[in-house]
Copies of this chain bind each other. A is one copy, B any other.
Amino acid sequence: MTTIKDSVHDYIELDPTAEALLDTPEMQRLRNVRQLSTVQLVYPSANHTRFEHSLGVYHLASRAVDRLEVDDALADRLRAAALVHDVGHGPFGHQTEAAIERHTDRHHDEIEWLLEDSDSDLGRVLTEQGLDPAAVAATVDGRGPLGELVSGSLDVDRMDYLVRDAHHTGVPYGTIDHARLLYALRRVDGELALEEGNVATAESALIARTLMNATVYRHHVSRIAGAMLDRASERLLADEVADPDRFARLTDAELLATFEDYQRTADTAARIRERNLYKRAVWVRRDAVPDRFVGLAYERTRRLEREIAEIAGVDPAAVIVDSPAEPSSPESRAKIVVDGELRRLEDRSALVAGLDACVREIWRLGVYAPPSALEAVREAATAVLDLGSVEGDVAP
């Protein structure tokens, strides 16, 4: 059996299907898509890729199916789905997914199109290995038997990424006890749950993600870079410089090169490359933002940007409004056996409410602009977004 050395899980043993899948261009491409996209602009060691993460998720899925004692055919499907679960990610992962969704109506977990694509080797290899591509695609999307193991509130995806992101950023908060989570997994009435006595185990995973959100995933520098990438991606796709399906299969570097080649996006490429990003003109807590400006739809966001730009007397491209939805915690819906009954974590854990408050606490509305336009944009945005008490720019 072939083994691969991994910095997080040590040796990973590959089954023949995994070996064949790894050889496809779709999987090899993930070597050049960073797991944490622009987080490396803040945490310089965070250069790990979706390729090694995919191997880690595969490894944890293998261990889980061994413990859960599922039959061979399902085990094969679950392992394969775990391995390919990220092939649908575009360049810079989550940071271009909204743009891709707008132009393809497809979430990154929906990978049927790729499996059916005659240009892709993935579907063919799955079939050759005796697997049904459609069933694998469903599993990647969290559907079908034990699909929640790959995409759900207790999935092996997050068990891997929390630990891996901690290892590579150096931030210890993601260091969860994934072995204990795996040991505690049970199949109860067809659903995945943690066995009796594991409320604290489930809470710890939830805490880890909340702390990693605050410290790593939602760091303002990465949010700014992500917003810039989104706007440039939109430009590229709206101007039909790139075909959406081809766009979705670029690597990080190829996206920047594509930006560079097109006059209207070249500035973004240069700014990312030289870490010469927009800054925060506005950065306000949830309490200071009128409800109608929270979690804005895309079209509305762009209209507000144009409005702000006009008042500020700057180019519309010099204003980015970033008003995320209040984030949810999928982990809080994890199922857990308590006193013999299946419950949701949020119904049993006194911590979940605290963590929800914590999530609200770190929420920020941001308006970003080039350094030269900061003052003007801040003033205009304050008026347009009706911000009563705006905190000042906390430049990085």
Contacts and interface: CB of A to CB of B under 8 A. Distances in A.
A89 interface: no
A132 to B, nearest CB: 25
Contacts of A29: 273
Interface string A169-185: 11111011101100100
A176 B208 CA distance: 12
A329 B214 CA distance: 22
A382 B179 CA distance: 37
Looking at chain A's contact residues, the main secondary structure is helix
A354 B203 CA distance: 11
A23 interface: yes
Interface string A1-37: 0011111101100000000000101001101101000
Contact of A215 (B47, B175, B200, B352): B200
A47, A353, A360 pick with most chain B CB within 10 angstroms: A47
Contact of A44 (B31, B177, B251): B31
A129 interface: no
Given A273-B28, A350-B357, A45 B44 contact: no
Interface string A265-280: 0000000011110000
Given A43-B5, A167-B7, A360 B354 contact: no
Contacts of A361: 199, 349-350
Contact of A354 (B170, B200, B352): B352
A357 B362 contact: no
Given A23-B275, A354-B357, A358-B350, A183 B3 contact: yes
Contacts of A353: 353-354, 357
Interface string A74-99: 00000000000000000000000000
A355 interface: yes
Given A4-B44, A40-B31, A45-B52, A177 B173 contact: yes
Contacts of A257: 253-254, 257
Given A180-B11, A215-B200, A6 B355 contact: no
A151 to B, nearest CB: 22
Given A3-B183, A179-B10, A51 B44 contact: yes
A167 B48 CA distance: 12
Nearest to A45: B7
A207 interface: yes
A22 to B, nearest CB: 8
Contacts of A7: 43, 45-46, 167-170
Nearest to A196: B394
A211 B200 CA distance: 7
A-B interface, 4 closest residue pairs, ranked by CB to CB distance from nearest: A354-B354, A253-B253, A350-B357, A7-B45
Interface of A: 3-8, 10-11, 23, 25, 28-29, 31-32, 34, 40, 43-49, 51-52, 55, 167-173, 175-177, 179-180, 183, 197, 199-200, 203-204, 207, 211, 214-215, 251-254, 257, 273-276, 349-355, 357-358, 360-362, 394
Given A25-B274, A207-B207, 20 more contacts: A3-B183, A5-B169, A7-B167, A7-B169, A8-B45, A10-B170, A11-B183, A23-B275, A28-B273, A31-B47, A34-B47, A47-B48, A172-B177, A173-B177, A197-B394, A203-B211, A350-B358, A351-B354, A351-B357, A353-B353
